[in-house]
């Protein structure tokens, strides 16, 4: 599935978790293309091949669902379900995926304009009892050790062969800027009232050699649905909507 608009070119694999495998700005690839590992049957996210852009639902870290309700204690898989399930193509810009462990349904629409890529999301509770609506963006952009990273709070700068993640203060930031040595630059923006939790992950040659950086707005904190930093609790049939933009920030 390929989308083009303005200076942008995007490729998506609906059958492989709805993964955005390529995002080009004026011909330059922005997303990490991985290290040649591609095994969709693998249980773990890294073992399957960590590249491109995925949506993390209903968790990032493998964990137990905290409740309330009958799903309390249910095992949530590594990096959630959405990346490992096929997505349904609803039209030339909209995909949808439904959970199996928890009764969530996520819809994502992508619009490529002259100055920005806009992604709009809708999370619906398809179940018969309330569930925590956890989502986390997982765009793995190319990482260069000397690249410019502008975001409020700490920016991880792990040494070669290491990785690190930090969490920013809740609701403290609504954008980040990345610039590469080529001069390509983007601003990633979101509504901090809707997705107030943000993580910044950098892998500098760890996990087998990956080189990527992820700016990760989320509806809940701590890489999993956690009652102390909980995402919204959705009633049966209720929906939660939000958006994310990648903007052309070249001078």
SS (H, E, C) the chain: CEEEECCEEEEEECCCCCEEEEEEECCEECECCCCCCCCCCCCCHHHHCCCCEEEECCCCCCEECCCCCCCCCCEECCCCCHHHCCCEEEECCEEEEECCCCCEEEEEEEEECCCEEEEEEEEEECCCCCEECCCEEEECEECCCCCEEECCCCCCCCCCCEEEEEECCCCCCCEEEEECCCCCEEEEEECCCCCCEEEEEEEEECCCCCEEEEEEEECCCCCCCCHHHCCCEECCCCEEEEEEEEEECCC
Mean pLDDT of 190-210: 98
Residue keyed to tokens 């920013």? 168
Residue 205 has pLDDT above 90, yes or no: yes
Mean pLDDT of 169-185: 97
Triad 184, 186, 187: Cα angle to 5° = 160
Mean pLDDT of 29-39: 97
pLDDT of residue 251: 81
Mean pLDDT of 118-138: 98
Neighbours of 181 (CB within 10 A): 9
pTM of the predicted model as reported, rounded to 2 decimal places: 0.97
pLDDT tens digits for range 210-246:
999 999 999 999 999 999 999 999 999 999 999 999 9
pLDDT of residue 160: 97
48/227 Cα distance (integer angstroms):
29
What are the structural domains of the chain?
2-152+168-190+217-248 (2.70.98.10)
Cβ–Cβ under 8 Å, residues 28 and 185: no
């Amino acid at each position: 599935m390929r989308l083009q608009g303005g200076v942008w070119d995007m490729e998506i694999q609906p059958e492989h978790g709805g993964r955005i495998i390529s995002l080009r700005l004026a011909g330059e690839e922005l997303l990490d293309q991985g290290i040649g590992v591609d095994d969709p049957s693998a249980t773990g996210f890294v073992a399957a091949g960590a590249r491109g852009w995925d949506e993390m639902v209903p968790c990032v870290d493998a964990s137990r669902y905290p409740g309330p309700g009958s799903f309390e204690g249910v095992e949530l898989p590594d990096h959630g379900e959405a990346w490992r399930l096929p997505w349904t193509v609803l039209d030339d810009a909209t995909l949808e995926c439904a959970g199996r462990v928890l009764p969530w349904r996520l819809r994502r629409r992508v619009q490529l304009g002259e100055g920005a890529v806009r992604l709009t999301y809708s999370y619906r509770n398809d179940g018969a009892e309330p569930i925590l609506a956890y989502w986390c963006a997982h765009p793995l952009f190319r990482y260069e050790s000397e690249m410019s990273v502008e975001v409020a709070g700490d920016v991880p700068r792990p040494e070669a062969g290491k990785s690190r993640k930090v969490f920013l203060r809740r609701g403290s930031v609504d954008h980040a800027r990345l610039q590469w040595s080529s001069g390509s630059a983007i601003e990633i923006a979101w509504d901090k009232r809707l997705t107030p939790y943000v993580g910044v992950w950098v892998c500098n040659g760890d996990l087998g050699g990956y080189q990527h950086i992820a700016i990760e707005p989320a509806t809940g904190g701590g890489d999993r649905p956690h009652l102390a930093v909980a995402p919204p609790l959705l009633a049966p049939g209720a929906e939660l909507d939000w958006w994310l933009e990648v903007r052309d920030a070249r001078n």
